[in-house]
């Protein structure tokens, strides 16, 4: 019996190994030349400690001097992020024209440039935190929001990933935002452009597409989709505006869908729940969906 199992496993291994030789994307087996998702997730958590220095305790380092602790974390991020970027750069079209050393140097410079954006990211996050506190009467404190609110977590990861996206780094920004998506249910593409004082309330099921542009002081509830009107064109639509523009001071209630690259939602607009919008809305407009008729059958009287 044991010999038969061993022989059968050997046959299966050979068949699967042979299948790996078909040259498809799923056949790649050079794991050390792929970005490491676990390392990238660890980098996210270290970046959160940099953005919110007094909130998330380090599991490894026991350095209580703020400057020393920050130096250790930044050095860790620089080393690991630079390595991951160097791997990711191999996916660019011009990668074959450059040596490994050139890609590593470019990755190092990109890492420095990214870390230089942290003060700007923190400036934006401070406004997002304020918007979350001002917009949610259920929030007892800003600390509660930082520790517990999925919306702020998703926005934090998005804002960090967006800076990497702007540097032209492949793969890593999307890995970051999809990690946040998996945790929070909030899907923000790192290519979206989002202004200050962005508030996500509840958040589950929100989708913000790659070419979405969102102004300042925008409030979005759960289940909102800022998406493309059609994706039938597939890759032919790459680098084209597919998603809507949301101007300043807009509120979008739960379940609303706003679609299309030509769709502009003007300033001070309020979009009611479950609205389906594919055309521009003039500033100051209130959009509501007419209530469906309710039919009640059976039940006992309250009297």
Report the CATH number at residue 203: 2.160.10.10
SS3 247: coil
Identify any residues that bridge with 252 across adjacent strands, giving them in sequence order.
Answer: 220, 271
Same-domain pairing of 84 and 154: yes
User: Which positions ≥6 away from 48 have C-beta within 8 Å?
Assistant: 56, 156
pLDDT at 204: 95
Is 255 part of a structural domain of the chain? Answer: yes
b or e along 34-56 (b: 16 or more beta carbons within 10 Å of the residue's beta carbon)? ebbeeebeebbebbbbbbbeeee
- Does pLDDT of 60 surpass 90? no
Q: pLDDT digits over 194-212, tens only?
A: 999 999 999 999 999 999 9
Q: Exposed, middle or buried, 293 (CB in 10 Å: 0-12/13-18/19+)?
A: exposed
Q: Six-digit token pair at 149? A: 């609110």
Q: How far apart are alpha carbons 173 and 161 in whole angstroms?
A: 5
* Four-residue CA torsion sign, 177, 182, 188, 194: negative
pLDDT at 31: 62
Residue 2 banded pLDDT, cuts 50, 70, 90: low
Is 202 part of a structural domain of the chain? Answer: yes
| Mean local confidence (pLDDT), 17-31 | 81
Identify any residues that bridge with 286 across adjacent strands, giving them in sequence order.
Answer: 270
Q: What angle do CA 211, 214, 216 make, to 5 degrees?
A: 160
Same-domain pairing of 172 and 199: no
| Mean local confidence (pLDDT), 71-88 | 95
Same-domain pairing of 33 and 180: yes
Is 21 part of a structural domain of the chain? Answer: no
Same-domain pairing of 165 and 232: no
Is 224 part of a structural domain of the chain? Answer: yes
| Mean local confidence (pLDDT), 25-33 | 73
- Is-contact 154 225, C-beta < 8 A? no
Picking from 161, 186, 211, the residue at the C-terminal end of a domain is 186
Look at the chain and count its residues: 303
Same-domain pairing of 93 and 230: no
- Is-contact 287 275, C-beta < 8 A? yes
Q: Exposed, middle or buried, 260 (CB in 10 Å: 0-12/13-18/19+)?
A: buried
SS3 258: strand
Picking from 153, 186, 219, the residue at the C-terminal end of a domain is 186
Q: What is the CATH number of the domain that holds 35?
A: 1.10.3130.10
Give DSSP secondary structure letters for 181-236: HHHHS-EE-TT-EE-SS-EEES-TT-EE-TT-EE-SS-EEETT-EEE-S--TTGGG
pLDDT at 303: 59
- Does pLDDT of 16 surpass 70? yes
User: Which positions ≥6 away from 90 have C-beta within 8 Å?
Assistant: 33, 103
Q: State the pTM of this model.
A: 0.87
Same-domain pairing of 198 and 182: no
Same-domain pairing of 75 and 133: yes
| Mean local confidence (pLDDT), 247-273 | 97
Picking from 186, 213, 241, the residue at the C-terminal end of a domain is 186
Is 3 part of a structural domain of the chain? Answer: no
Is 214 part of a structural domain of the chain? Answer: yes
| Mean local confidence (pLDDT), 176-203 | 97
The parent domain of residue 208 ranges over: 192-290
* Four-residue CA torsion sign, 74, 156, 185, 145: positive
Q: pLDDT digits over 233-242, tens only?
A: 676 667 778 9
């Amino acid at each position: 019996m044991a010999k038969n199992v061993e022989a059968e496993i050997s046959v299966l291994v050979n068949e699967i190994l042979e299948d790996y030789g078909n040259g498809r994307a799923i056949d790649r087996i050079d794991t050390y030349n792929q970005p490491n998702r676990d390392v990238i997730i660890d980098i996210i958590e270290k970046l959160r400690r940099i953005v919110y220095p007094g909130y998330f305790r380090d599991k490894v380092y026991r350095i209580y001097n703020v400057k020393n602790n920050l130096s250790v974390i930044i050095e860790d991020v620089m080393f690991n992020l630079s390595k991951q970027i160097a791997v990711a750069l191999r996916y660019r079209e011009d990668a074959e024209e450059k040596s490994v050393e050139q890609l590593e140097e470019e990755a190092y410079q990109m890492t420095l440039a990214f870390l230089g954006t942290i003060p700007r990211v923190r400036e934006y996050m401070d406004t997002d935190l304020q918007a979350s506190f001002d917009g949610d009467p259920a929030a007892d404190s800003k600390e509660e929001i930082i520790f517990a609110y999925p919306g702020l977590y998703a926005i934090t990861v998005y804002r960090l990933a967006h800076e990497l996206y702007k540097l032209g780094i492949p793969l890593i920004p999307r890995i970051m935002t999809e990690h946040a998506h998996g945790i929070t249910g909030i899907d923000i593409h790192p290519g979206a452009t989002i202004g200050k004082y962005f508030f996500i309330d509840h958040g589950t099921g929100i989708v913000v597409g790659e070419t979405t542009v969102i102004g300042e002081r925008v409030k979005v509830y759960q289940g909102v989709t800022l998406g493309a009107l059609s994706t039938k064109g597939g890759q032919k639509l790459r680098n084209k505006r597919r998603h809507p523009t949301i101007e300043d001071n807009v509120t979008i209630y739960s379940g609303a869908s706003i679609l299309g690259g030509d769709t502009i939602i003007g300033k001070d607009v309020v979009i009611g729940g479950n609205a389906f919008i594919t055309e521009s809305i003039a500033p100051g407009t209130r959009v509501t969906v007419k209530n469906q008729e309710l039919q009640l059958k059976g039940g006992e009287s309250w009297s």
